[in-house]
Structure 1
């Protein structure tokens, strides 16, 4: 809230001076673009839970930083594959692709949580290889489809504002996720690290379910913007693309 209040104050100050606002206000009047922002925030907050899994691997299972990093190599490979999928299919599938990607990420976190509970200290990189791979694929597809969808529904004059909004959303989502799931982990760690890790992963999956519920409000598909359109009319036009 303090950050949002500071932003509003700066916007009003710019308006009083007759200067250009920090961001194009038209972007904040589009419910479909606000939905993209909300889903992006939720996804980034949820994937930050891997911070907790890293703690579990190193502090409880005795992994070195290198071993923990290697455990997440499949997730990195999945992110690369997800980037390719998003690049090829976002324009055609729009929010359907995003919803599928969020579902994949949600399911992967749930599987890892169950494995953490069932295996305890026997959890290792091989046991979570497949869900880590699908987690990365879902995350890569979701994040890139969200960025592509948002930017495709703006015009060149809005590019600076749009990219700033999206990058700020990413940073806020990641910071919120680390704070949220880190707090949950350390609150429940008295029940055992595996249990605390599983709780955190399941909470992240539940948060992704909220993001999934928001995807119907996103644009259906990306479309080309007419070169003569103005920022206001472009956003208003895309209000009908749900």
Structure 2
């Protein structure tokens, strides 16, 4: 049976919350605020050092403490939203983030600031899985792709525009206390988000029937037995938060991430014993989840990773964020420390990437349901080539004009990035039942945060080693670090290609009768 696009669209919207787009706007504003604070502080560090007389070791925790706390709570916060209602958890997270931002702004010393940043990170980790969970809950079909496209634009723009906005606020506030505006700007935005969340976001949880409806949306990989188990687990989901699993996962993540976030302060091979211990704890966590999942809903349902699109999409996101996030880290260091750019000038240099990412993310969200994973492959190819041209531009046009030379290749890299982040998120979560959307989104975003921490540590180490060995040649160090970034992008590309090949092989094994019956479903990925 052939279903027209207009009738399919009408079917998707039947019974949908009429406030869903306004609710999405509130979610995106809050998500933008939390993700912006990952990168906006980088350009404020010199001003914080001056204003608070903070040592370098403490400044490292202003950045890494936020990222560590953020990644630590994503999965349990996603589960909590699945169980007790996403609006309630979302509002709590936004309120906590707003209070922590105000506390950071009035910080009297560096220890106070670090403590406020840790609380900010926790609040950010509470908010973000609710955003992806609410998109799963409120939208269906092509509309969901467009919603994730807007989320992808938010992720890309917030990460890339952070240095620019931070530089502008410091310029307006002055060199001594201008950094405080970086935190104060969150306060009115957070208050507004709390008010609008109560107005536009429904308070109910996803119904128990929804997981089956969502799981039946057209995937050829799903089986009725899996959907039945998902529904049965959903009924038990409200009885337990799996505290042992939460503790094991949190301990494992801290042990794995700590050597990376402390990489510039903690030298020597001893720190990698922590990472090894963390991997061991995560192994124990996996065994516990399998055992616990026999009689109750675990914090991470490992059956999710039997879905190819989810398993490969999560791996792809971790690898891509390892390279993507580090671009702005090493570019800002090169421009400010190597070429003497101001915070505002360094921020302006990242604007082309932000503009390209925003435009392509919206487009990618609209066409991902038609093109599937090949769209992500094309985006990754464009990012890899554009970063190679960026490295070439810094070699051909050294010196103070390098920002002009890199503008076009960074714009192209941003366009490619927009075709990676939001389409990959849409495809990765496309087969996840709504009742598990928060925890599944939390796992996906944890992978992104772990990837970002590993990438910044690895690429930053190459950059700093290059500066030291070349006696201050920041341009050469930047190019060498950019090659490592490209390697992460190519690794993500290999994962995307593996998914495309596997999807095509699976489609060839589908009997003709079954293929005809699923002709109205999204394309195989």
1:13 Cα offset (Å): 4.3
Aligned to 1:9: 284
Q: 2:398 aligns with which of 117, 120, 127?
A: 120
Checking the alignment, whether the CA contact within 8 Å between 1:106 and 1:208 is kept in structure 2 is: yes
**Are 1:204 and 2:479 matched, yes or no?**
no
- Where in structure 2 are the equivalents of 1:145-156 lying within 5 Å? 145-156=423-434
**Are 1:144 and 2:422 matched, yes or no?**
yes
Q: Which protein has greater RCO, CA pairs closer than 8 Å, 6+ apart?
A: 1
Cα distance in 2, alignment partners of residues 198 and 75 from structure 1: 18
Aligned to 2:350: 72
1:165 Cα offset (Å): 1.1
1:141 Cα offset (Å): 1.9
Larger Rg: 2
Aligned to 2:498: 217
**1:4-43, CA deviations, whole angstroms, 9 ceiling, x for partnerless residues?**
4334434544645944211111112234422111211111
1:50 Cα offset (Å): 2.4
Cα distance in 2, alignment partners of residues 4 and 167 from structure 1: 18
Cα distance in 2, alignment partners of residues 176 and 96 from structure 1: 26
Cα distance in 2, alignment partners of residues 16 and 108 from structure 1: 46
**Structure 2 unaligned runs (5+)?**
1-275, 505-523
Checking the alignment, whether the CA contact within 8 Å between 1:11 and 1:22 is kept in structure 2 is: no
Checking the alignment, whether the CA contact within 8 Å between 2:394 and 2:402 is kept in structure 1 is: no
Aligned to 1:170: 448
Cα 1:16/1:31, change in 2 over 3 Å: closer
**TM-score relative to the length of structure 2:** 0.40
Aligned to 1:232: none
Cα 1:4/1:162, change in 2 over 3 Å: farther
Q: 1:23 aligns to what SS in structure 2?
A: coil
Aligned to 2:466: 188
Checking the alignment, whether the CA contact within 8 Å between 1:32 and 1:217 is kept in structure 2 is: no
Deviates more, 1:12-21 or 1:169-178: 12-21
1:171 Cα offset (Å): 0.3
Aligned to 2:174: none
1:218 Cα offset (Å): 2.5
Aligned to 2:457: 179
Cα distance in 1, alignment partners of residues 425 and 282 from structure 2: 22
Aligned to 1:237: none
1:56 Cα offset (Å): 0.4
**Are 1:39 and 2:312 matched, yes or no?**
no
